[in-house]
Structure 1
Amino acid sequence: HLFSIIMSDWTECLKFGINLTKQTSEIILNAFKQQKQVHLKSSQADLVTETDLRVETILKSAIRDKYPVHRFIGEESVAAGECVELTDSPTWIIDPIDGTANFVHRFPFVAISIAFTVNKQVKAPMEFGIVYSCVEDKLFYAQKGRGAFLNGEPLNASGQEVDISRCVVVTEIGAERDDLALSTMTSNIFRLLRIPVHGVRALGTAAVDMCQVATGGADAYYHIGMHCWDIAASSIIVQEAGGVVMDTDGSPFDMMSRRVIAASSTAVANRISQVIQAFPCRRDDEDQCRCICGGKGVNSV
């Protein structure tokens, strides 16, 4: 009986999160074609706008009003110096605009990503995940044990199990632009194309990238250097669609590690883990109360 009550509570949270996401997306859509004031965070490719900050503030405020004891990990809050910390309390992991560079340039893949986790879940599936690709009007969501959906229709991974040469793989170059990161990421793409895979794609938003695996439109996704708010929501969407997620070294998925492979099957994920390499990444939960941007704030551009 207690279990059913808990599940019902998380279902209520999921429904609230979906409604809030759709409402808040109007702010993004209204600003999409307008001129933006852009700031830099960790690199020339790591951007933030006033809309990012506004959307995160609205999301957190609305959730806090509804669920006062719940906690948050938000991209822009962490960039401002808040802790990356999971506790046993229900925690909302928020990326207000995944694909800020897309948003700035009006490239039409821009998403709100929200994950919900309890009891310090970093390896197990989240309780639920929501990814709303605003310009496309595509709402991906999943709840643990209850399937994954796109605009209400069930999602299923491609089912590709063995032949990686028939796969489409999605990845990103990401915001890490030092020589080691760039050489590692570009050489990974080179090695995949030499297998050869059918193709390598990039949409500019990790959350939407990973959801392509859940739709069956892509067979795998991998990335090194993203953050927990980029992939937490889409990780459960992939798993509930029948796919798998793991670390790039083949070990169990850990959303704080900043490394991930999502794939249609364990065999495909393992094959990719044998091909790609990772560059060193500091865990999101290392030195928990630290600023992702190195404590330097943001700089106008």
Structure 2
Amino acid sequence: MADPWQECMDYAVTLARQAGEVVREAIKNEMNVMIKSSPADLVTATDQKIEKMLLSSIKEKYPSHSFIGEESVAAGEKSILTDSPTWIIDPIDGTTNFVHRFPFVAVSIGFTVNKKVSVKGDLERPESGRGQSMVGKWRVCSGTQKLAISKTQQNTIYITKSLLVTEFGSSRAPETVKIVLSNLEKLLCIPIHGIRGVGTAAVNMCLVAAGVADAYYEMGIHCWDMAGAGIIVTEAGGVLMDVTGGPFDLMSRRIIAANSKTLAERIAKEIQVIPLQRDDEE
């Protein structure tokens, strides 16, 4: 049976490529950088331009659909997930990377129906100041390259053989930073092979989907950071889980994405949960 939402997925690919071109051009120029929730939570005029472009195009084509955009929420709109078809957009996941021209940036487009993610995200990774399109390489269903999770935890139950990815987050509250560092220490001292991070949740999750990292965990991110890349992980054979070990909740602002349930549960046992306000709470 044909996928009734295939047209939406194809349109998302087209839009992501267009947005990627905007990113590539903008990274060459001076940037107007603004601060949002903390000195480490940044936004640029390019973030706002791309989101406006994406939302305008989608609303024109699908006027009955709902929308959640990072910059729209930052400007005061509510982040509410309903059963209706909903586009969830992060125009530039990795804005701090973008500002510093650190070459890992994602244009993330997620799509949910009945609160379930249905459409894959697409990524653009700027390299050497000019950019290289990663559309197709990171997308599971592009038909150009099939992604598959790593085999580390399929062959052994030992977390000691794993390479994890995570981030420090944008909060600089001392109590939050203390928990983040404590969690890193607990995992490193198991010991594991190592912990990496490239500054964007979407790319980190795609590293798991591509099989070059075994798991990713983070708290403090948002639905727009996870919606596009989450389905890439699951369609590559991975699992999504809450950091408590329970079911993954897109609006919870926390995630474990791993190559197996065994590894995800093992990580959940080690880390302390950071108290967070949900995306769908006032």
TM-score in terms of structure 2 length: 0.93
Shift of 1:272: 0.5
1:285 match: secondary structure = coil
* 1:132 lines up with 2:120 in the alignment: no
SS at match of 2:248: coil
Unaligned 5+ residue runs, structure 2?
Answer: 127-131
Letter in 2 for 1:156: A
Q: CA deviation at 1:151?
A: 7.5
- Letter of the aligned partner of 1:137 in structure 2? S
Kept after mapping to 2: 8 A contact 1:56/1:74: yes
1:250 and 1:131 map into 2 onto residues whose CA distance is 28
Residues 108, 224 of structure 2: 8 Å contact kept: yes
- Measure how far apart 1:159 and its partner are: 2.5
Shift of 1:265: 0.3
The question of whether the paired residues in 2 share the 8 Å contact of 1:92 and 1:115 is answered with: yes
Residue 158 (1) aligns with residue 150 (2): yes
Residue 236 of structure 2 corresponds to residue 245 of structure 1? no
AA paired with 2:230?
S
**Closer/same/farther in 2, CA of residues 175 and 150 from structure 1, 3 Å limit:** farther
Query: Is 2:34 the counterpart of 1:39?
Result: yes
1:174 touches 1:226 (CA, 8 Å); kept in 2? yes
Deviations 1:159-218 (A, max 9, x none): 222121111100001111101110011111111110111110010000000111000000
1:285 maps to what in 2? 280
TM-align CA RMSD: 1.4
Q: Report SS of the residue matched to 1:154.
A: coil
The match for 2:181 among 175, 186, 210 is 186
Aligned partner of 1:166: which letter?
K
Asked whether the 8 Å contact 1:129–1:141 carries over to 2, the reply is: no
**Offset, 1:152:** 2.3
CA distance in 2, matches of 1:193, 1:120: 35
- The yes-or-no answer on 1:274 pairing with 2:269 is yes
- The letter for the 1-side match of 2:281 is E
Gap change, CA 1:70 and 1:20, over 3 Å in 2: same
**CA positional deviation for 1:141:** 6.0
Please give the alpha-carbon distance, in whole angstroms, between the structure 2 residues aligned to 1:201 and 1:151: 29
CA separation of 1:151 and 1:45: change in aligned 2, threshold 3 A: farther
Q: Confirm or deny: 8 A CA contact 1:129 1:234 kept in the other structure.
A: yes
Unpaired runs of at least 5, structure 1: 143-147, 288-301
Matches within 5 A, 1:1-301: 4=1, 7-8=3-4, 10-121=5-116, 126-135=117-126, 136-139=132-135, 148-149=140-141, 152-161=144-153, 162-287=157-282
On the 8 A contact 2:16/2:107 being kept in 1, the answer is: yes
Is the 1:113–1:130 Cα contact (8 Å) retained in structure 2? yes
Counterpart secondary structure, 1:78: helix
8 Å contact from structure 1 (residues 138, 150) kept in 2: no
Q: Is the 8 A contact 2:65 2:85 kept in 1?
A: yes
Q: Which amino acid aligns with 2:57?
A: A
Cα distance in 1 for partners of 2:122, 2:12 equals 10
Contact 1:141/1:149 (CA < 8 Å) preserved in 2? no
Paired with 2:23 and 2:59, the residues of 1 have a C-alpha distance of 21
**Secondary structure, in 3 states, of the residue corresponding to 2:122?**
strand
Answer whether contact 2:138 2:147 (CA < 8 A) is retained: no
Mapped partners of 2:207, 2:142: distance in 1: 11
Larger RCO, structures 1/2 (Cα 8 Å, 6+ apart):
1
2:40 and 2:250 mapped to 1: Cα distance?
Answer: 22
CA drift of 1:131 comes to: 2.6
How far does residue 157 in structure 1 lie from its aligned partner after superposition? 0.5
Tell me how far apart the structure 1 counterparts of residues 142 and 159 of structure 2 sit (CA, whole Å): 25
